[in-house]
Amino acid sequence: VVSEAEIEYDFFLVHAGGDTRQAEKLFDLLSLRARVFLASRSLLPGDRWDGTVPDAQRRSRVTVVLVSRHTDAAFYQREEIAAGIDQARRGDPPGHRVVPVYLAGRPPTIPYGLRALHSITVSGKVTLDVAATRLLDLLEHTPAPGGVVRAPRPGNRWVAVALLTALLAGALVAAAWPALLRPGRGVGWWLVVGLLAATMVLTLIALRDKWWDQVRRLLGALGQALKRIADRVVAHWLAGLTALVLVAVGAAFWLVSVSSAAVGCPVPTELPVLTTADGMASTQALAVAFEHARTGPNRCPTVHAFVYSGESAGVSTAALGAALARSWQDDQDISPFRDIGPRPAVWLPDSSLDVDRVRSLARQNLLDEARQPILPETSIAESPIVLGLLDPGAPAAMPRTAALPWAKVLQQADDEDWSLLRPGPDSSTTAALATLSMYARQVNGRLDLSHSVTDDRKVEQRISASLTGRDEHPEVTSATLLCQERSGAGRRAGHRPTYLITSEQMLNRYYWGLRISPDCAQQDPLPGTAATRIIQPVDTFIMDHPYVQFRWTSDPQAGAARDFLGWLLGPEGQDAVIAQGLRPPGAVRNPAARPRFGDVQTALSQYRSTKPPADVLLAVDGSGSMSSPAPGAAGTRFQVVTQGVRDALNQMGPQDEFALWTFPPRGTKRDRELGRIMPGGNPQRQQLADALAHAPPSGSTPLYRTIVDAVAAVGHSTATRTTAVVVFTDGEDTSSDLSAADTAGRIRAAGTTVYIIAAGDANCATGPLSVIAPRTCYQADFGSVDRVLRQLFATLWGGR
Amino acid sequence: MAGADGLSGGRSAAVRRRLLSWPGGLVIGVCVSLLAVALVSAGGRHDPAESGRLVIMSGRDESVNHQRQRLIDSWNAEHPDNQAIIRSLPSSADQQHSTMVANAQAGGGAVDIYNLDITWVPEFAAAHYIRPLDSVPKADFLAGPWETGSYAGHQYAIPFNTDVGLLYYRTDLLDAKSVPKILPPDTSYATQLLGEDPNLQAAYAGQLVDEGLTINAIEAIRSAGGDVVDGKGNVVLDSPAAGDGLRRLARAVKKLPGGRRAELGGTENENTAAFIGCQVALMRNWPVHYGKIAGSAREQPAERPCGDVSRKFAVTELPFPSVLGGQDLAIAADSTKPRAAQQLIDFLTAQESQKSLFTSGGFAPVRDSVLNDSEVKRGQPYANALLAALKSARPRPKTPHYALFSAVFRAAVQYALEHDGALPDRVVPQLADALNGQV
């Protein structure tokens, strides 16, 4: 006897060959909710009729006999009817029953054994659909073995369809509102996830037995369902049409969303790369080469390296180091995000001395090693500090291989009256290391900075004399000096050879015709080779170009940063590094001891002690426009500048001298001067700032006349006293009796330097200010004017 | 008729059967999903705002008197549990873009709201850096600015302030009828205008620097009846009309006999200074410069060659659809306080906030009701011209790769300026690639 567990089908359909179409229709109707055997649908090619069919009938719960006028002539059907009646009589399986379904009314002859059985007659209102419904009802009322009424069998399909629909709808939602389904959405997100999970669990439970069979049946049922959607629309047009519309609208919506969202390349990983002002052009070139190397076959870039520098934003090297040590957090002076740019994922300083400084500052911030913002660095290139001859076409005074120390080279410079240029020591680490190279002596493999300052002063006087007439800020960068040479603006002092002390890389770029800075045009290479123009003292220091990554960086930037490093150290990257004027790591043979950050500080301190005191005249624009509200700051423009002046006065050294003017004058020309601080007059500082605060802005902007009068008032610089005029203005000249060109000529003849801080409508890049102070005009906004004033005065003052 | 009696399972059984059939499953699945989505959406609207500090990442606030910060101060006074701060970024658009993208990619929820240039919205939306804001009603937001916040059929950002090109002109030299119908003006018009005033250095001033070059070149092309990208997303820069526009632009920046030019191509501020300083008679510039010109009377204008320009200038819309500018607010995808962030956005874009940003800070408002407010119209006489310009303005190409597109386009325009309007080879496929982010 077939046991309950062995039952494979709920219905076994018996029919004559002439009733096949109706049998298949009934099969389809029943299959939606039950397991049905119909020979024409259930047999696979090669199945044995004489084995498979009787076996299926034995394993069925109900034999459904379709009776019609064709039955009489159907031999096999009659056999199956007899088998069904026998199974019902023997209870094999228990509870097996036979249900006659009369098609188109009862035939004249009813097969043996069926006459006494309660039947279903298909005719008129009782369609095959109704017959199928009644047969399915029968399943629910079929007594299980032991006489217990079985629980309804869901057939599992509704769960599967619900699951598929929910998954489809979930996919639609994910495509249409991706952010909606992201973690962190709270209750809603968990609700969606929970519902989907619950549906899946229910399905798994429902399918736990014979799961493969269920899946096969499910797929078959879905195929049939699609095939008969049209029938359903007719039979149940409302539900069918609703379902079709829902599916069509959903699919269209999904297609539109997905196709629109997937247009083109994905957004490349953004890699913020911080570098130095001198390193901007070469780092940009390396970044472009890296981006190109990481462009996929579909021409989609996978990374975008954004290169920027602190100095370009007007932030000093020291302030930048402090910002890095604070993990890019604000302090009272600067907001790194606002004043510098994005928090870097990669930092490419010129020297590991910069890295040492940040580590030292971070330790001062009580950060232990595990919380240090900087990860261990790797050198990607090298470049020694050298002297390079700027004059076109001429070889250096001594061969590169002369193996002379700095002391001997500087002695020769003195003997032969060379013109020496060096970037401002505070402008960059390259310049600071150049200063250390010039000041330090190597004694038994150690640095000695204890010799007399007099020698240093002598060198500095030579450099200062060489810079005179170039209208340069004392903290001029290597890039500015070289770009000036390129443009022909560098002025020669007679026929003396002019050497620039800087990194070999910067000089290579100059000789090779590479771009020196982003705003300095690329030019043809200079004739001759770089090697014949460079002097490399034997005890010089090396810029080791570290590649620095940060603890704060997370993926994807961290991954891109590692990839950039790997590329830079690989053959393609190293070729690119060399093409930018650098040497590979370890390529420079150097017997000099590696300096410490403290050594550089000592050298800078000595440099400052060589500076002569300064006599500075500050002229502040007091025209009517200065009473306007300051964009980007609290208060009026005049109030913002007054506060900046108050802060800047704290930078004065004891030997410095200061005069404060405002323009236009209130009455006679003499009324321009609000006050003066003589050497040693520190207590007067705040009184002077107060006087400025009480000078109400009004009137026009006689900018040119003020500058010319100020230049005459301070006089020219001497070896023992530096003079300078600093002018703050928020607009162009409106009421002078001379032109910008006249003003520029008077400044050149005066032998002093004019610095202009331009804000508001005043512009350094174009117009008259670019004529008056082409290299010493600083563009500021009212949010940063105090910082610009402070930094400028810090470089002018503090001499002894 | 056999069968009905005895086999009928009753009405409830029939209902159950229908529910447990496959169409029933379909309906249940759809209902479950719709219910879930409805609950999620409803949760966003009705759940209480999360507490905690809100961070807005935005370019530096250069508004007069920090008007944006004042608005934030007002919010903070009313919302002690959601104090807001502005994380200011540099003025440079490139710096802002890099910082925002890097921050979005790194995740971590450090930022709740991005104040995006309108050209970046598609990029941030396509990359899922920001959340949809479909529940925010359009209400009386102007159609153009509102559309800048949409992408792929969803609203991802809410306009904060808008921008549109206006034509400023000297009323002592021109009247509304005699302003040029094309820009930049052709050389014959410019020559005639320059003859009116020997102090003029150029007839017209446009912005031909950085993104200003992209905008002014698109407008010059549109002025000639062409376009860069058509409505179907095809690059049409090689059309004869586009060529006419570029040729006119190239000729306008060249020196005329006597050393003067038809067009001066400086930055926005430089051009305004030139306009105030009597050096140009016409200027294309943004609305915020109206206040600067109107306030220039404080600077001893009597000493300028043409006197006080603040008393003899007027503003009208451009003679063709301007390029639309502005900034939109969007909620970071990884914000842990999206409901509070949305409340802050609602506050910043509310009518009263928009009114104060316009009247006190000079930011062009994004709501129709503000521009039609009688009090606003009295204080801002150019409100009508602004409204008309906004209604006809058209956006720049909408693509997640706008930065790349603009860079390629600018290089092509720069070439055209140096070659009498001729375009470099292969520029059309290059621009088409750039629209897809390909190099």
Indicate yes or no: CB of A257 within 8 angstroms of CB of B152: yes
Q: Which residues does B111 contact at the CB level (< 8 Å), separation at least 6?
A: B55, B56, B57, B87, B100, B103, B104, B332, B335
Query: CA A475, CA A311: separation in Å to the nearest integer?
Result: 11
Indicate yes or no: CB of A33 within 8 angstroms of CB of B17: yes
Residue A86 CB neighbour total at 10 angstroms: 13
As given in the structure block, the two tokens for residue B110 are: 């450090």
Nearest partner of A611 among A453, A754, A500, judged by Cα: A453
Query: CA B383, CA B290: separation in Å to the nearest integer?
Result: 11
Secondary structure of A584-652 as H, E, C letters = CCCCCCCCCCCCCHHHHHHHHHHHHHHCCCEEEEEEEECCHHHHCECCCCCCEHHHHHHHHHHHHHHHC
At residue B241, does pLDDT exceed 90? yes
Query: CA A558, CA A549: separation in Å to the nearest integer?
Result: 8
pLDDT band at A105 (very low <50, low <70, confident <90, very high): low
| Most confident among A193-202, B62-71, B295-304 (mean pLDDT) | B62-71
Distance from CA of B433 to the nearest CA of A (A): 9
8 A C-beta contact, residue A388 and residue A534: yes
Where are any strands of DSSP class E within B175-303?
202-205, 261-264, 280-285
Residues of A in Cβ contact (< 8 Å) with B96: none
User: Quick one: closest CA in A to B4, which residue?
Assistant: A120
Q: What is the pTM of this model?
A: 0.68
pLDDT band at A800 (very low <50, low <70, confident <90, very high): very low
| Most confident among A667-676, A717-726, B27-36, B415-424 (mean pLDDT) | B415-424
ipTM of the complex: 0.78
pLDDT band at A150 (very low <50, low <70, confident <90, very high): very low
Return the pLDDT at A191: 64
Return the pLDDT at A734: 72
pLDDT band at A146 (very low <50, low <70, confident <90, very high): very low
Return the pLDDT at A148: 37
| β-sheet with A9-14: strand ranges across | A36-37, A9-14, A60-67, A97-103, A120-122
Give chain A's largest Cα–Cα span: 138
pLDDT band at A457 (very low <50, low <70, confident <90, very high): low
User: Quick one: closest CA in B to A256, which residue?
Assistant: B152
B437 in reach of chain A (CB within 8 A): yes
Residue A360 CB neighbour total at 10 angstroms: 14
CA dihedral A699, A704, A708, A709 (to 10 degrees): -10
8 A C-beta contact, residue A405 and residue A572: no
The residue-averaged pLDDT of B112-117 equals 94
The residue-averaged pLDDT of A391-412 equals 72
The residue-averaged pLDDT of A401-419 equals 79
Q: Which residues 236-295 of chain B have a CB within 8 Å of chain A?
A: 266-267, 269-270, 272-273, 276-277, 292, 295
Return the pLDDT at A669: 54
Query: CA A799, CA A106: separation in Å to the nearest integer?
Result: 124
CA A54 vs CA A27, A50, A384, B168: distances in Å:
18, 7, 96, 96
8 A C-beta contact, residue B58 and residue B67: no
Give chain B's largest Cα–Cα span: 113
As given in the structure block, the two tokens for residue B35 are: 């219910």
Choice among A395-409, B21-35, B334-348 with the minimum mean pLDDT: B21-35
The residue-averaged pLDDT of A748-765 equals 79
At residue B65, does pLDDT exceed 70? no
Residue A99's Cα: distance from chain center in Å?
73
Alpha helices in A751-784 (DSSP H): 768-772
Phi, psi of A333 (to 5 degrees): -90, -50
Return the pLDDT at A154: 43
Distance from CA of B177 to the nearest CA of A (A): 31
The residue-averaged pLDDT of B116-135 equals 91
The residue-averaged pLDDT of B239-248 equals 92
| Most confident among A147-156, A215-224, A337-346, B259-268 (mean pLDDT) | A337-346
Return the pLDDT at B123: 93
Indicate yes or no: CB of A118 within 8 angstroms of CB of B6: yes
Return the pLDDT at A510: 87
Indicate yes or no: CB of A192 within 8 angstroms of CB of B62: no
At residue A306, does pLDDT exceed 50? yes
Choice among A239-248, A545-554, B281-290 with the minimum mean pLDDT: A239-248
Return the pLDDT at A402: 63
Residues of A in Cβ contact (< 8 Å) with B49: none
Return the pLDDT at B270: 79
Return the pLDDT at A555: 84
How confident is the model over A667-713, as pLDDT tens digits?
Answer: 655 567 777 766 655 666 777 778 788 877 777 778 888 888 888 88
Return the pLDDT at B158: 94
Residues of B in Cβ contact (< 8 Å) with A159: 25
**Angle at CA B174, nearest 5°, toward B170 and B175?**
105
Return the pLDDT at A184: 41
The residue-averaged pLDDT of B174-190 equals 89
Between residues B104 and A690, the one the model is more confident about: B104
State the pairing for strand pair A346-348/A546-549.
antiparallel
| Most confident among A307-316, A394-403, B152-161 (mean pLDDT) | B152-161
pLDDT band at A160 (very low <50, low <70, confident <90, very high): low
Indicate yes or no: CB of B102 within 8 angstroms of CB of A342: yes
At residue A63, does pLDDT exceed 90? yes
A117 in reach of chain B (CB within 8 A): no
Choice among A62-71, A378-387, B12-21, B224-233 with the minimum mean pLDDT: B12-21
Between residues A97 and A148, the one the model is more confident about: A97
At residue A223, does pLDDT exceed 80? no
Between residues A171 and B128, the one the model is more confident about: B128
Indicate yes or no: CB of A300 within 8 angstroms of CB of B438: yes
pLDDT band at B343 (very low <50, low <70, confident <90, very high): very high
**Angle at CA B186, nearest 5°, toward B185 and B192?**
85
What is the rounded end-to-end Cα distance, in angstroms, of chain A? 116
At residue A573, does pLDDT exceed 50? yes
Indicate yes or no: CB of A221 within 8 angstroms of CB of B22: yes
H helix or E strand, kind and range, residue A140:
helix A128-141
Indicate yes or no: CB of B128 within 8 angstroms of CB of A179: yes
Could you tell me what percent of chain A has a pLDDT over 90?
12
The residue-averaged pLDDT of A72-99 equals 88
8 A C-beta contact, residue B437 and residue A301: yes
Indicate yes or no: CB of A263 within 8 angstroms of CB of B436: yes
B15 in reach of chain A (CB within 8 A): no
pLDDT band at B342 (very low <50, low <70, confident <90, very high): very high
